[in-house]
Amino acid sequence: QAIPLRYITVGRTLAEGLMSSMCGKYSDKINCTQLAHVDDGFEEHTLGAMYEHCLAHPRHRVMYLHNKGSFHATLENHRLRLHLTDAVTSSDCIERASIEDCDVCGLLFHPFPEPHFPGNMFI
């Protein structure tokens, strides 16, 4: 069964057919659905939609990924984005987030000043 991939775009509109083309290559593995497009904002739109999904489906596992650093395209941001994505999509992280004793996984967890994952990518 294909895994649902839901996304929200922010800012400039993507080229016509871009996501269909990208998702079409993996249609046996993922089922892409665009939830919305907003002209302004940041992660709050996607995080809000994810939060609402989790409230409605508390037993579902979700993964949050984004194009970290895309507003400031630097080599450092590119490397950080790859490192964060590799960690969250690793089989180790996915498997650990699937057992009862673990309900979150990401590259690095910080308990202060509030519990969070720097880079904001997690399962």
Find the mean pLDDT for residues 56-62: 89
Confidence bin at 67 (pLDDT 50/70/90): confident
Burial (CB count within 10 angstroms: exposed 0-12, middle 13-18, buried 19+), residue 32: middle
What lies within 8 Å, CB to CB, of 82 at 6+ separation is none
Task: Give dist(CA 61, CA 78) in Å, integer.
Answer: 27
Q: What is the pTM of this model?
A: 0.76
Q: Which two tokens stand for residue 70?
A: 């895309």
